[in-house]
Amino acid sequence: MPNAVAILNLLYDRGRLLIGAGGVAFAVLLVFINLGFLGSLSETAGLVYNQLDADVFLISPLSTNGTSTDLFSRDRLYQAASYEAVDRAMPLYVGYVAWRNLETNQQNLILSYGFNPQDNPFLLPELRQPSIMESVLKRDSVLYDVRSLDKYGPAEVGMTAEANGRRVEIGGLFTLGGGLAADGTLLMSDQNLFRIMQPRTSETVDLGLLKLKPNADVDKTVAALRRELPTDVNVYSKAEIIERDRRHWLEKTAVGFIFSLGAGVALVVGAAIVYQILYADVTKNFKEYATLKAIGFRNQFLMGVILHEAVLLAAIGFIPGLILSMGVYQLILISSNGAIPMQMTLSQVLNVATMTTGMCIVSGIVAIRKVFMADPADVF
């Protein structure tokens, strides 16, 4: 019975219904966008690490994350390589270089990784092609990420550009993405990186990659290396360093705070809109609610009517909000060339649906106080 009254109340004023549903849809859209960016932060934290053929990572304790690194001595890699569980120790050099698009003369910083081609620590399928590795060995040749934004120039083999003022040629393409840390990425040999980023040398390393022997225990190896290596280098398993970067982005930068705050603000805005709609309904039909009380209906019935209206508004507004959010996710994915992996999961949809319903119920509870004040004497 309360459900039928709630439906009739909402349908009686179609304009108010559309405004309420639109407010809920807008709140749902904002929540999905903010949660999507938060999810992409977690996803991109492991983007590069998951494409590295390494089990254990060495990094300076002064490094904030895998793309903003402080240097440590290459001697630490030699020390780690002497441990019996370690099969290979590989240095990885990381830095940002000024990339100039010669067609537009536009210059932007681009994230660059340098590695020893003989080690080839990357699991990217493109780097398993002999022709690609031949181009890596060439002087002033770089590999270009096809997910880099258009401002860096066309992703075409043979194109030339300037990196820190040095003329380089795109010798091959790969697909990776820099996530929120960078919107363009280069791979190159360590020697080419040293030429571009002078006076960088091989004596210092940004990331140390350790590939363990088959059946070696990763956790025991990490614990042993932590005991044996000096404190100027930290040792992590792959899962640990991904979690370290994820926590950095979510907890130690403004980015994570802004997106979390954005989701909260969206719920508050949505709750305010729903409250206004329900409060207007109560105010407009105040005498009718008083009449219901006069003929014997209790406050519980009136509460059921308002709460049913709140839940119906949540359901009606959630569907278009969900559809709009799916479109925005695809738009962000396309505009970033896949570098920002906005993915909508079933658990995310269920969580937002629950938050939306809760938001509307809270608004209904606040608005219902006026109904309790309805006096049957107001009918006369």
Among 69-83, 241-255, 270-284, name the most confident range. Answer: 69-83
pLDDT in tens, 134-169: 999 999 999 999 988 888 988 899 999 999 999 999
- The C-alpha angle 368, 369, 370, rounded to 5 degrees, equals 90
The pLDDT tens digits of the residues spanning 187-203 come to: 999 999 999 999 999 99
pLDDT digits (tens, 9 = 90+) for 214-253: 999 999 999 999 999 999 999 999 999 999 988 888 887 7
Name the amino acid, one letter, at 268.
Answer: V
Domain edges within the chain: 2-44+253-379, 61-232
Q: What does pTM read for this prediction? A: 0.78
Residues with Cβ within 8 Å of 156's Cβ and at least 6 positions away in sequence, in order, are 170
Which residues have CB under 8 Å from 15's CB, separation 6+?
none
Question: What angle, rounded to 10 degrees, do the helices at 14-45 and 254-284 form?
Answer: 170
Which residues 6+ apart lie within 8 Å of 46 measured at CB?
242, 245, 246
| pLDDT beyond 90 at 39 | no
Give which of 267, 276, 273 is closest to 356, Cα–Cα.
267
pLDDT of residue 90: 97
